[in-house]
Structure 1
């Protein structure tokens, strides 16, 4: 399907949310060099993105996932509340089914990878501005399956305490330190760890953390 046509007189206004200066400048140059795309602000944090979006009411927010003050996906709802007509396109270093599904469930219009070429980025921005969705190759079908319940989410059965345990495992902590951080007995912490391993189908803590990172389950 060809990209949607944008009238020559129209300019898609973009707030770019990216904390790395060199990356942000490269993306800005790639977008601004086309007649129909214009970066109206660059934000380096979630807080700045919310303020800039509320002030400028852009057509598209191009949102980096990893930001100094949190996970960009968590602020999609806030961005859409600040400017209800704007569309949010997430930019990520890696794309997994779980991460892409989180974007869709939060109301995001798509997810594109930093490894994708600049033409694909420009096309994705145009598509979401036109009301379409844009996910990197191989992700859209899997996201639709996940949202319709045909594909299991590895993290869906984790309890809040097990998710806390997984986050602490991701920090490299052992059972003794996890028990202290959670305020539970060491044996209880070990039980939490074991259930996390079982639910992620992992044989070791390292395998569980590796799986969690790949699936976008770690904060």
Structure 2
């Protein structure tokens, strides 16, 4: 029986043993078992639930409140990417990492635009998946090699309205996001509490009209806010 996830205001949900909690959404038994074994054998990761379809994933995410949802793109009742927004609404604070057999920069951009935190190819190795879960749980992004730059290019070409001008602190936050830093690292660099750093990041996203950190960086590059 999985441990009940524990949460604190400044931490991602973890089990009583201190592991990052994961909801696995995968309908193929053999694939799901291989992924579960690869994640559970680490000291810091634990699969606390498995869903077979989008409908079950929404209910399970709301019930378990995992740190990360590892989400298969192709599911019996729909496209996993299309479910990202609903998943994040069902479990606020949960990060979504998409697994797919094949992907293009356009697909990666779609994941980022929907609010996903990463995209990992199934043809990669299991260590890449483990590292990806850790990255997104820490508030960073995790995209397979070759997809990130292409996704940024595509997102930068879209029309996303920017609002009120950024304050100096928000621009500093944006620059740190452009360097690939997550919320914890932004907190350290700025010398502020983690929740304060998260608030800065959220205001940057709102002012740039972006739904993810990746999209915010792309928009900022397009508008000349980042070099």
Alignment match, 1:142: 150
Q: Is 2:117 the counterpart of 1:119? A: no
- Count of matched residue pairs: 144
Deviation at 1:104, TM superposition (A): 0.4
Q: TM-score, normalised by structure 2?
A: 0.62
List aligned pairs for 1:33-112, cutoff 5 A: 33-112=41-120
CA contact (8 A) 2:23 2:61 kept: yes
Alignment deviations for residues 45-73 of structure 1 (CA, whole Å, 9 cap, x no partner): 00010000000000000000000000000
SS where residue 91 of structure 1 aligns? strand
- The 1-side partners of 2:107 and 2:96 are apart by 14
TM-fit CA distance, 1:149: 1.0
CA distance in 1, matches of 2:18, 2:128: 20
Distance (whole Å) between structure 1 residues aligned to residue 150 and residue 139 of structure 2: 20
For 1:146 and 1:99, how far apart are their aligned partners in 2?
10
1:67-121 per-position Cα deviation (integer Å, ceiling 9, x unaligned)? 0000000100000001110000000000111111110000000100001101111
Q: CA RMSD in A?
A: 1.6
Partner residue, 1:129: 137
Contact 2:106-2:150 within 8 A present in 1 as well: no
User: 8 Å contact 2:23–2:51 — kept in the other structure?
Assistant: yes
| Offset at residue 10 of structure 1 (A) | 2.9
- Structure 2, unaligned stretches of length 5 or more? 1-13, 159-227
Larger Rg: 1
Q: Give the Cα separation in 2 of the matches to 1:98 and 1:148.
A: 12
What secondary structure is seen at the aligned counterpart in 2 of 1:27? helix
* Unmatched segments (≥5 aa) in structure 1: 1-6, 151-219
Alpha-carbon distance in structure 1 between the residues aligned to 2:25 and 2:49? 8
Rounded to whole Å, the distance in 2 between the matches of 1:45 and 1:79 is: 12
